[in-house]
Amino acid sequence: MLIVVYAAIPAALGLCTLFSGKTKVPEHYEVTGIGRIFCRNALFLYRKFFAKHIQTSLSGVERSLTLLQPRKKCADLGEVYFVKKLSDLLMLLCAGSVLGMALYVSARQNPAVSEEGIMQRASYEEEAKDVQLIAHTKEGEVLGTYDVRVSNRRYTKEETDRLFSEASAILPEEILNGNASQEQVTTDLKLVTQLAGYPFTITWKSGDYTRIRSDGRLNLEGIPAAGEVVMLTAQYAYHDLTYEQVLHVHVRAPVPDREQLREEQMQTLLANADAATIEEAHIVLPGTFDNKDLQWKEMVKDSSPLIFLLVLIASFIVFVAKDKEVQRQMDARNNELLNGYPQFVSQLVLYLGAGMTLRSIMKKLALNYAKRFQKNGELQFLGEELLRFTYAVESGVAETGAYEQFGLRTGTREYTRLTTLLVQNVRKGSNDLLRLLEEESKKAFSERIDRARKRGEEAGTKLLMPMMLLLGIVMIIIMIPAYTAF
């Protein structure tokens, strides 16, 4: 079912590509290559399903984009913004689906178990491998999962026979762990799993686990005075070769429950299947168990659902983050306008005192900005708004209307207050305009100082936590030598 989910998104995009064949992406969208295909699909979906429902919400975004990109001549900035955002979402979803399908297929390629229940083993030079298998009947009944270690193919055994003879002579002394001998065991044994200088892995079986556990610990509770003879079986394993050595001390094995017995029987069958074909290139897994026909398949570790989920989450985060980025840019624009406000008012006072009219002052400031922009290409939002004001007045817009539009575009309380003064002066005339502007200039510089002080306080608050961490580190550096000196 997972592969169907993964394939659904590319299939839906394929259908969308088919239906959107007649949709043309305008040149001002500025997309190329494969991105143009996703952009065409996004434009088709927008016009088909979204255009009528999100016009209101896009109007605010379009206004912000118009203010942020004053030199971009485009009548549908909101549509371009949403289509590009939707295009990025579609591209991420498609990439996540393709990645999920690739991981899904990769996890199931070259299965360890064939349909006939045959599993390939490692070659001579390779390491043994662990495979997790699922046993189920032909009717679909799952009997359980089993971890199988697939050994590599065997080399000759003559040298390991000799080493076993040497190790079996040493082992009885190694396990005593301070006891006088095997006939007088009173403390825990040391059932070693390795002997220095020998390549064997040693596992232990106890004849009575109630007396001697597989790790060598003793249980002396209720032991008769004469003691109990316990048989310990040491199983030596070197790759595919096994040897056994029997030692005698004191114990008894616990009776396993039904599930444990079933587990042990299945593991025994699997181990026997491995041992029976140790010199062959494959293993034939058990075909029946407990009078039931078995089928085997490998338990696949598939990480594609997690990757696909992460890509889905990332896609929607990116989709939402686009709006946050626009808001961040608007905040930066407002800060730039506020920082330039005191100087702007000061220039108005200077030129007005020199006898220039308001209209000519605004035009001069706009032309000065245009020369600077042509020289260094540095965009300034206040300069762009002055240019808009100048173009509007020269194109026939009433001066009062141009001032009002200027105040609305800047969108801050300070500029609105200033444009109110300028509009009143144009409509009613005022001999006190210069004095009012001088007072506004003083107020603007005072507010700028207050904003700078506030930002400084905010910066100090943000630095408080790092300073506390540094203080803690300094105290640790001082206190550790003082304690260690004693």
The whole-number pLDDT of residue 430 equals 64
Q: Which residues of 287-307 are buried (b: 16+ CB within 10 A; e: fewer)?
A: eebeeeebbbebeeeeebeeb
289 three-state secondary structure: strand
**Residue 207 corresponds to which tokens in the numbers above?**
């004849």
Looking at 133-147, 217-231, 305-319, 356-370, which range is the least confident one?
217-231
The answer to whether 430 and 436 are in contact (CB under 8 A) is yes
**34 vs 390, more confident:** 390
The pLDDT tens digits for 415-430 are: 888 888 888 888 877 6
Instruction: Specify the DSSP element, H or E, that contains 233.
Output: strand 231-238
The rounded distance, in Å, linking the Cα atoms of 102 and 105 is: 5
The pLDDT tens digits for 371-406 are: 998 888 888 888 889 999 999 989 988 988 998 998
If one counts every other C-beta atom within 10 angstroms of the C-beta of residue 38, the result is: 25
- Residue 451 Cα to chain centre, angstroms: 39
DSSP 20: G
The whole-number pLDDT of residue 235 equals 93
The whole-number pLDDT of residue 155 equals 52
482 three-state secondary structure: helix
Among candidates 148, 158, 162, which has minimal Cα distance to 275?
A: 148
The rounded distance, in Å, linking the Cα atoms of 225 and 228 is: 9
pTM of the full predicted structure? Answer: 0.54
The rounded distance, in Å, linking the Cα atoms of 296 and 287 is: 9
Residue 451 reports pLDDT greater than 60:
yes
Report residue 301's pLDDT band, with 50, 70 and 90 as the boundaries.
Answer: confident
Q: Which residue has the tokens 């141009």?
A: 402
The pLDDT tens digits for 104-158 are: 888 777 677 776 777 777 664 567 777 788 888 877 788 888 888 777 666 567 8
Arithmetic mean of pLDDT, 206-221: 79
Q: Which residues of 47-86 are buried (b: 16+ CB within 10 A; e: fewer)?
A: eeebeeeeeeebeebbbbbebbebeeeeeebbbbbbbbbb
**32 vs 169, more confident:** 169
The pLDDT tens digits for 218-262 are: 877 777 766 778 788 999 988 778 899 998 885 443 344 677 777
Question: What is the residue type of 14?
Answer: G
Arithmetic mean of pLDDT, 356-382: 89
Tell me the Cα Rg of the chain.
42
